[in-house]
Amino acid sequence: MADESQVRAFYAGKNFFITGGTGFVGLCLIEKILRCMPDVGKIYLLMRPKKGKEISERLEEFPKNPVFEKLLESHSTDIFKKLIPVSGDVGEANLGLSPADRQMLIDNINVVIHSAATLDFQESLRPTVNINLLGTRRIMELCKDAKDLKVMIHVSSAYVNSFLTEAHEKVYEAPEDAQKVISLVETLNDESLLQIEHKLLKSHPNTYTFTKHLAEHEVIKCIDMFPCTIVRPTMIVASWKEPIPGWTCSKVGPQGFLMGAAKGVVRRLPLAKEKVADYIPVDVVINQLLVAGWEAAKSKSGLTVYHCSSSTCNPFTWTMLDNTVNNMLHKYPLKSAVWYPHLKFVPTLLMFRISAIFVHFFPAFLLDLMLRVTGGRPILIRLHKNVWNSLNRLERFIFSEWKFYNPNTLELSTKLSKKDKELFYIDVTSLQWVEYFSTLHLGVRRYLNKEKESSLPAARNKDMVLLVFHVIWQLFIMGLLWYIFAWQTGLTLATSAWIAPIIYVLYNLL
């Protein structure tokens, strides 16, 4: 019936096995399951000790995470008893599982959501093959042994097909034989592997997209054994509606540079603002995973791929924020800002590098010097150097435009009951991008920069003080350039006064 949730009914009593449960997507997924589907069975989480903490200790920290605030308004912490930590690692043989834990999973799991991956675009071939490719193969082997598996949901990426400018919801031919790649990784040393990496990747921009592409073919091998589906998100950003509008724990993409821009540290951003940037809120991704799993288990035949994307149904370009991004930064400033925020988009890497010398490195040098004097730890020069060095590897993603067609997703949305469209919304055609980015900025302010709403009055006062220092700094830099010009040409400051407005115009072009 229209007032019932078919998706929730399907998952009732089912036991989940989730990899990547402590990441951005994983945390939001667990929250959604616990809050909206409290009738599920157990949720087994593949976890490994981290930073000296055992998996049981890591699990105890879950209730403290802000993502669970809404859940705890209606449930006690007893709800977390559904979470069962399982010691293991997708990067280890047999998933690093003990025989007892593996048997426990085989006997109990009904739904597998494989989200774990290494997302580092700069990573070499060995770790990405081990985690993204072999990790997926290990998960599929576990699925084959499971006694009552209803569905396997594989979290891929739309960028596995970034070698195409337009991609459809299908699995494209593998770029290389997976077993050959695995054999090379197992037999060659790091230096030899690096020498053949470019040849292996072919048109893939990095090892991440290459190995995630091969991983999809590991899923295909099993489609006749149990229901499978593949969901390909694009760039995942802060939540749109749930659990809290603007919630994020990720510093990737716009969340990261808005975090830096609010601090006054990131002042120039290289991007093609007229081109479509494909962003998708994390809560939509979560809903898509659960709905796709429901549909796959129901149909029980073939493999459907879903693009969780916005580029072809509700395209976003940064021109939409041209006139509002800085107003947003000053309407909700940071008390912890170190420089007056002012973000400007630049269309080429060359222009960015020239601008960065004046608006990133000079102020960073000054601020790092002040930190040294006051006993602090200088970090800004190092931060900007890291950005500078990574830009060549990211250039293709910064300035390219992709169209990820999503008719399967749009059709799936029409199959949902009225109740499921409310609970598990996957259609982003109604998302208002300018309003959304204002919410995203507030989320970044609260969850990444750790500033509460109560700090706004003090932050606005500081913003005015930083404006004064910003103007003084600009006058100092332009005055210094004027002095250098006069000194080099042998003119006095008075006779070279005509250069001042030229310096002002050129400086503001940076």
Which CATH number covers residue 156? 3.40.50.720
Taking the C-alpha atoms of residue 385 and residue 387, their distance in angstroms, rounded to an integer, is 5
- 468 in the same domain as 424: no
- 426 in the same domain as 402: yes
Residue 202: exposure state from Cβ atoms within 10 A (0-12, 13-18, ≥19) = exposed
Domain count, the chain: 2
- The residue assigned the tokens 């739904």 is 111
- 436 in the same domain as 461: no
Residue 238 in any domain: the answer is: yes
Residue 384 in any domain: the answer is: no
Taking the C-alpha atoms of residue 318 and residue 316, their distance in angstroms, rounded to an integer, is 7
- In this predicted structure, what is the pLDDT of residue 53? 82
Residue 69 in any domain: the answer is: yes
Residue 389 in any domain: the answer is: no
Q: Nearest CA to 37 among 20, 61, 67, 15?
A: 15
Residue 319 identity: T
Residue 505 in any domain: the answer is: yes
297: left (phi over 0), alpha (psi -120 to 50) or beta: alpha
- 468 in the same domain as 437: no
Q: Nearest CA to 257 among 213, 193, 321?
A: 321
Taking the C-alpha atoms of residue 457 and residue 331, their distance in angstroms, rounded to an integer, is 11
- 459 in the same domain as 314: no
User: Looking at 448, 470, 485, which one is the last position of a domain?
Assistant: 448
Whether residue 290 contacts residue 11, with contact meaning beta carbons closer than 8 Å, is answered with yes
To which H or E segment does residue 305 belong? strand 303-308
Sign of CA dihedral 267, 268, 271, 275: positive
Residue 438 in any domain: the answer is: yes
- The residue assigned the tokens 């724990």 is 249
Taking the C-alpha atoms of residue 255 and residue 38, their distance in angstroms, rounded to an integer, is 31
SS (H, E, C) 208-235: HHHHHHHHHHHHHCCCCCCCEEEEEECE
- 480 in the same domain as 427: no
In degrees rounded to 5, what are phi and psi of residue 43?
-120, 105
For 260, the domain range is 6-318+398-448
Neighbours of 121 (CB within 10 A): 17
Residue 313 in any domain: the answer is: yes
- 248 in the same domain as 187: yes
Give the single-character DSSP code of 317: B
Q: Nearest CA to 154 among 91, 106, 199, 217?
A: 217
- 502 in the same domain as 404: no
- 203 in the same domain as 134: yes
- Over its length of 510 residues, how does the chain's per-residue pLDDT go in tens digits? 456 899 999 999 999 999 999 999 999 999 999 999 989 999 999 998 887 788 988 898 899 999 999 999 999 999 999 999 999 999 999 999 999 999 999 999 999 999 999 888 788 899 999 999 999 999 999 999 999 999 999 999 999 999 999 999 999 999 999 999 999 999 999 999 999 999 999 999 999 999 999 999 999 999 999 999 999 999 999 999 999 999 999 998 899 999 999 999 999 999 999 999 999 999 999 999 999 999 999 987 779 999 999 999 999 999 999 989 999 999 999 999 999 999 999 999 899 999 988 888 988 888 888 888 888 888 888 888 888 888 777 788 889 999 999 999 999 999 999 999 999 999 999 999 999 999 999 999 999 999 999 999 999 999 999 999 999 988 998 999 999 999 999 999 999 999 999 988 888 777
- 268 in the same domain as 293: yes
Residue 392 in any domain: the answer is: no
- In this predicted structure, what is the pLDDT of residue 2? 52
Neighbours of 374 (CB within 10 A): 7
Number of helices (H), then strands (E), belonging to the chain: the values are 21, 13
- 457 in the same domain as 433: no
- In this predicted structure, what is the pLDDT of residue 52? 77
The pTM assigned to this predicted structure is 0.93
- 140 in the same domain as 42: yes
